Chains A and B, each alone.
Chain A
C-alpha cells in the first residue's frame, strides 16, 4: 500500500515569492493534516481536514497561508508571500478513522526561503 505522497521534496525560493506544496494521502483516509516542523522541534499542526472540510485551522497564519482539499482527496498548501521565517519542513499526514486515529506521515517538503 502506498504511503502519503508529498511533492516537491525540496524547494528553494526567494522571500516574497509564492510557493505551493502538494499532498496525496493514503487511499481511503478521510482525515488529512498539514504540519510545520522547525529544526529540532516536533511537528505542529497547521490545519486538519475531514474530507473536504477544514475542521481545525486555528494554527494556520491566514494572512499568508492557505490550503485546499478539493474533492476530499489531494490537498495543496500555499504560502504567499513567503518570509524568511517560513523556512521549515512541511509535513502532510492522514488517518483512516478520524482525528483520534493513528496518523501516517509523508516524507515532507523542506522549504528554504532566501
Chain B
C-alpha cells in the first residue's frame, strides 16, 4: 500500500527566499501530483509528473520526480506572499481498475514580507 510523506508540514518563509518541499513515497507510483489549496477553497492541480527525471515549472514553482529515490520535490524560487497556501503531493496507487490517489498531509506555507 502506497504511503506518502511530506516535509516539512509547516514552512514560514520570507519573501524573496528559496525553499524546497519534499515528498517521499513508499512504493512504486505511476504518477505524482502536486496540488495547492487555499483556505476554504478547493484543491487546484499544479503539476503531474509521469516519469523519472520529469521536471515541470510554472512561475516560481518547479516540481521534479526521482522514481529511483521515490522522491518528488517542489521548489519555490523568490517566494511572494501570493504563494501562501497548503501544498499537497499525491501518488497514484493504481492496481488494475482499483486504486486511487494517496495524499500526503500537506505543507502549509506562509510567506511573510
Contacts and interface: CB of A to CB of B under 8 A. Distances in A.
Is chain B a partner of chain A in the same complex? yes
Interface of A: 3-4, 33, 40-45, 48, 55-56, 58, 91, 93, 99-100, 102-108, 110
**Binding site secondary structure of chain A:** loop
A107 B41 contact: yes
Interface of B: 4, 30-31, 33, 35, 40-45, 48, 88, 90, 92, 94, 97-101, 103-106
B105 to A, nearest CB: 6
Given A45-B100, A48-B100, A55-B97, A103 B105 contact: no
Nearest to B97: A55
A91 B42 contact: yes
A70 to B, nearest CB: 22
Contacts of A106: 42
A7 to B, nearest CB: 13
A25 to B, nearest CB: 13
Contact of B100 (A3, A33, A105): A33
A43 B103 CA distance: 6
Given A42-B90, A100-B94, A56 B100 contact: yes
Given A43-B43, A104-B45, A105-B43, 10 more contacts: A3-B42, A33-B100, A41-B106, A42-B103, A48-B100, A99-B97, A100-B92, A103-B101, A107-B42, A108-B42
Given A100-B30, A100-B92, A40 B42 contact: no
B101 A45 contact: yes
Contacts of B104: 42
Contact of B42 (A33, A41, A105): A105
Given A41-B106, A42-B105, A100-B92, A56 B98 contact: yes
A26 to B, nearest CB: 12
Contacts of A4: 42
Contacts of A44: 103
